[in-house]
Structure 1
Amino acid sequence: MDPLIPRLGLALAIGLLVGLERGWRERDAPDRSRTAGIRTYGISGLTGGILAALAQQFASGLILAAGFLGYGAVLAWFKAREAAHDEDYSVTGVVAGLAVFALGALAVVGDYVAAAAGGAFLAAVLASREVLHGLLRRLTWIELRSALVLAVMTAIVLPILPDRTIDPWGGLNPHEIWFFTVLTAAISFLGYAATRIFGAARGLLVSALTGAIVSSTAVTLALGRAAKAEGGAETGRFAGAACFAAMVSVLRVAVVTLIIEPGVLAYTGLPILAAAAVLAGAGTLLLIRAAGGSALEPATRNPFDVGPLLLFALLFAIVSTASAAIAGLIDDRGLVAVSAISGTFDVDVAVLSSLRLVGQAVPAETVAVAVLLALAANALGRLFVAAVAGPVRYWTPLVVASAAAAAVGYGAFVLAPHLRLVLAPAG
């Protein structure tokens, strides 16, 4: 079969897919009252493919360029008349038609896989109008600024930083440190956005779970204050929510480890899953007495606030350099000690600093121990915050649950040394 035929079929299919969405949206309009529908968009994609094939056949890009300009002029003229009649000044239909034409051409003379993906994505974006407009109405200046900060951090700052160590111990790599800072802030921002979207409308548990992606310590503090203010026999449900927040913190470390150094997860995966299961079970038992519960709005900061972000990067740089120096000058026990101490204040810094040392004369199993100790130290920090902020009925169950999770996790690490997850490196 001539390979041109299936490519032309793909060009037609892209147009039909976009036209299906456009036609469905305007399905209640009278016949012949709209410039473009499912057939027009389908033919537009096919036209782009045909002109691209002709341009390739005659080795003249002018054919495709002239066809694109002519098609765009005709479509824009008809859309202008329609807009004047309906008093509708949306240009989406014109842009969608131009995109369909271009994707049809790409399907014939370019990467047909990219063309198919582009067509599906275009249809999905067009179909998501209500969702996107709803998100835009909810968007605040904080979220917009966060997106701009993320763009600057990744597209401008990251490429210009030197991707090499600049200290004698091989721990201070500006490019790596900034990359991990951006990665951590981006993961935290997912929780921040979830808290903004769901917020108080979804109850205590969802508020605690989403807030814990940003900071489980902040959630523990907010829950303790709420428990102290409410008092009574129902205080245990705040402890249950705090257990789930701790579970999210543990699983968050597992996700970061999976992204940065999957081989370490072969050692930490089983203990982390065991500890998370214990925390989830304890939280369920504590919450089962009270259905629902009032919502919580933890005072979580925006992860892209410049001040805390720079402080995180500075602390990460200091701990990374110290970890590399200690690991090189003393022994692996020094790395474990640094990880445990820094984990009390910031588990992300401790975990990322340890993961960076894999392959730098530090075995993965030692790094895994450092990661687990950082989690344990961070749990102690949360318990201290809980004891200071909340009543005894709040922090006592949390202490018991955390101790049980630590014991089960330690048992999983010690008693099953030969069990490795599928992520373990071969050999």
Structure 2
Amino acid sequence: MQLYADELAFRIALSLAIGLLVGLERGWRERDAAEGSRTAGFRTFGLAGLLGGLTAALSQPLGSELLLAAGLFAFAGVFGAFKLREATHDGDFSVTSAIAALSVFTLGALAVAGDYRIAAASGATVAALLASRAALHSFIQHLSWVEVRSAILLGAMTMIGLSLLPDRALDPWGGFNPWEVWFLTVLTATISYAGYIAVRVLGSARGLMISGLAGGLVSSTATVVALARGAADGQYLAERTGASILACMVSVLRVIALTAIVGFGALPEVLPALLPAAVVFAVAGATLLARRRVAQAAAGPASNPFDFFPLVGFAVFFGAVSVLGAALSDRFGSSSALAASALSGLFDVDVATLTSLRLMDQGIAARAAASSVCAAVALNALARLSLAAVLGPRRFWLPFGAATLAAFGSGLAGFLLWPGLGRA
């Protein structure tokens, strides 16, 4: 890549800027050290970035990548020797400064010989990571092993699973795509972990309200079950009921969000039915929670951000419903597939929503898919109400049922009054 003088000057200046940005953090951290007692500071890191840029600039007209490689090895040797003397003198075993210096040299070279935007962004990232030392160390110290294990598992599910699974349908009807099923499983796990962290970071002072909102991100049904069981002790009934209702609101909003992401064409048909229901849930939940404040923490974060085997069960169930829907659509037409998708809402509204929306790719009209989504949400609400009545006391499930019926009525009104849905 041959560069003109003005562009070359800009890229070399960027190499220097990357080094100075990282050197600013390193120099500030060691600002109290005596002159000459440290291997590298503000100026040295700036020169390291500039050296990387100049080495890359020299290697281009010569057409030799070996010159750049030799420059990197020479820099690493010289810097490493001085850093070894410093570490021996101070009894320091940290390798951070050495890695940062090698990163600065490499990014300086990348700014000249490669994409300067990636080099600039990477340089800022290196500086941010170095500056976040105290926050990151504090964050790690406050993590439990369960949280670390869940984060590692989530990373493995994402990086290994999504990179290995084929992104194509494997069944004769085109309903089972392993990559897509696993992606939605990872998405569910990520939402679960995010909800857990939200409660963990914000603390339990907000108690049931935060637990209800965070739980609705993961599973409104599971949240209602947990709060209904907790209400058996007769304490915080209004708050527990309000939190359950807010979880239902979040569930409805989550369905709207999934529709916008996966099946945007059905969104105008879904909103008139689901948005009024979400508003009713929001008003009812907020009203109950406002009746009196929780005196002390009533609910903390769950003991585990997410469980792996229930997620595998979700993936299996979603895959099975997808294959069933595609097979029914191929054999009997779209009506039976949509009915099966809606019926699965009794167990998992996300599976029902995603399955219904995916059928749009097979030629099913957006209005029909939207009708199936709305039916699944209604059936899921019925399942939650039934569980609340079985597991919770009357003072819990009666107001919960009233809010559910009010939300159902408003959603049905929107469903019938909106012309698009009325003809579906």
For structure 1, which segment, 190-199 or 49-58, has the greater mean C-alpha deviation from structure 2 after superposition? Answer: 190-199
How far the C-alpha of 1:209 sits from its partner, in A, is 1.8
How far the C-alpha of 1:119 sits from its partner, in A, is 1.1
The separation in 2 between residues aligned to 1:359 and 1:303, in whole angstroms, is 31
Alignment of 1:97-112 (within 5 A): 97-112=101-116
How far the C-alpha of 1:302 sits from its partner, in A, is 4.7
Contact 2:207/2:300, CA 8 A, preserved across alignment = no
Distance 1:364 1:227, change over 3 A: same
Contact 1:169/1:328, CA 8 A, preserved across alignment = yes
- Give the structure 1 partner of residue 299 of structure 2: 296
The separation in 2 between residues aligned to 1:22 and 1:187, in whole angstroms, is 36
Distance 1:378 1:25, change over 3 A: farther
Distance 1:61 1:161, change over 3 A: closer
- Give the structure 2 partner of residue 345 of structure 1: 347
Which of the numbers 208, 213, 225 marks the counterpart of 1:209? 213
- Give the structure 2 partner of residue 61 of structure 1: 65
Superposed CA offset, 1:61-107 (max 9, x none): 22211221121122222222322333321111110111111111101
- Give the structure 1 partner of residue 139 of structure 2: 135
- Give the structure 2 partner of residue 117 of structure 1: 121
Moved over 6 A (4+): none
Contact 1:335/1:370, CA 8 A, preserved across alignment = no
- Give the structure 2 partner of residue 73 of structure 1: 77
Alignment of 1:325-344 (within 5 A): 325-344=327-346
Superposed CA offset, 1:339-387 (max 9, x none): 3321111112212221221120211221122112212211111112222
The separation in 1 between residues aligned to 2:10 and 2:273, in whole angstroms, is 52
- Give the structure 1 partner of residue 250 of structure 2: 248
The separation in 1 between residues aligned to 2:49 and 2:282, in whole angstroms, is 52
For structure 1, which segment, 129-138 or 156-165, has the greater mean C-alpha deviation from structure 2 after superposition? Answer: 156-165
Contact 1:178/1:313, CA 8 A, preserved across alignment = yes
Alignment of 1:108-257 (within 5 A): 108-198=112-202, 200-231=204-235, 234-257=236-259
Distance 1:23 1:308, change over 3 A: same
TM-score, normalised via structure 1 length: 0.88
Question: Match of 1:296, as an amino acid?
Answer: A
Distance 1:418 1:365, change over 3 A: closer
Contact 2:146/2:304, CA 8 A, preserved across alignment = no
Distance 1:141 1:337, change over 3 A: same
The separation in 2 between residues aligned to 1:99 and 1:136, in whole angstroms, is 24
How far the C-alpha of 1:246 sits from its partner, in A, is 1.2
- Give the structure 1 partner of residue 39 of structure 2: 35
How many correspondences in the alignment? 416
Question: Match of 2:97, as an amino acid?
Answer: G
What is the DSSP-based 3-state SS (H/G/I as helix, E as strand, rest coil) of the residue aligned with 1:356? Answer: helix
How far the C-alpha of 1:265 sits from its partner, in A, is 2.5
How far the C-alpha of 1:169 sits from its partner, in A, is 3.0
Question: Match of 1:357, as an amino acid?
Answer: L
Distance 1:275 1:127, change over 3 A: farther
- Give the structure 1 partner of residue 265 of structure 2: 263
- Give the structure 1 partner of residue 275 of structure 2: 273
Question: Match of 2:314, as an amino acid?
Answer: F
- Give the structure 1 partner of residue 399 of structure 2: 397
Question: Match of 1:61, as an amino acid?
Answer: E
Distance 1:24 1:379, change over 3 A: farther
For structure 1, which segment, 4-13 or 187-196, has the greater mean C-alpha deviation from structure 2 after superposition? Answer: 187-196
- Give the structure 1 partner of residue 55 of structure 2: 51
Question: Match of 2:342, as an amino acid?
Answer: A
What is the DSSP-based 3-state SS (H/G/I as helix, E as strand, rest coil) of the residue aligned with 1:357? Answer: helix
Contact 1:279/1:402, CA 8 A, preserved across alignment = yes
Contact 1:219/1:298, CA 8 A, preserved across alignment = no
Contact 1:218/1:300, CA 8 A, preserved across alignment = no
Superposed CA offset, 1:133-191 (max 9, x none): 23323444434443444444444444544444343433233333233323323333322
Question: Match of 1:171, as an amino acid?
Answer: G
Q: Which runs of 5+ in 1 are unaligned?
A: 420-427
Distance 1:203 1:154, change over 3 A: closer
The separation in 1 between residues aligned to 2:84 and 2:15, in whole angstroms, is 26
What is the DSSP-based 3-state SS (H/G/I as helix, E as strand, rest coil) of the residue aligned with 2:360? Answer: coil
Q: Which runs of 5+ in 2 are unaligned?
A: none
- Give the structure 2 partner of residue 90 of structure 1: 94
Percent sequence identity over matched residues? 51
The separation in 1 between residues aligned to 2:15 and 2:294, in whole angstroms, is 51
Contact 1:207/1:295, CA 8 A, preserved across alignment = no
Distance 1:122 1:219, change over 3 A: same
- Give the structure 1 partner of residue 314 of structure 2: 312
What is the DSSP-based 3-state SS (H/G/I as helix, E as strand, rest coil) of the residue aligned with 1:165? Answer: coil
- Give the structure 1 partner of residue 24 of structure 2: 20
How far the C-alpha of 1:298 sits from its partner, in A, is 6.7
How far the C-alpha of 1:118 sits from its partner, in A, is 0.8
For structure 1, which segment, 348-357 or 255-264, has the greater mean C-alpha deviation from structure 2 after superposition? Answer: 255-264
Distance 1:136 1:356, change over 3 A: same
TM-score, normalised via structure 2 length: 0.89
The separation in 2 between residues aligned to 1:164 and 1:67, in whole angstroms, is 46
Question: Match of 1:254, as an amino acid?
Answer: I
Distance 1:94 1:166, change over 3 A: closer
Please tell me whether residue 375 in structure 1 is matched to residue 377 in structure 2: yes
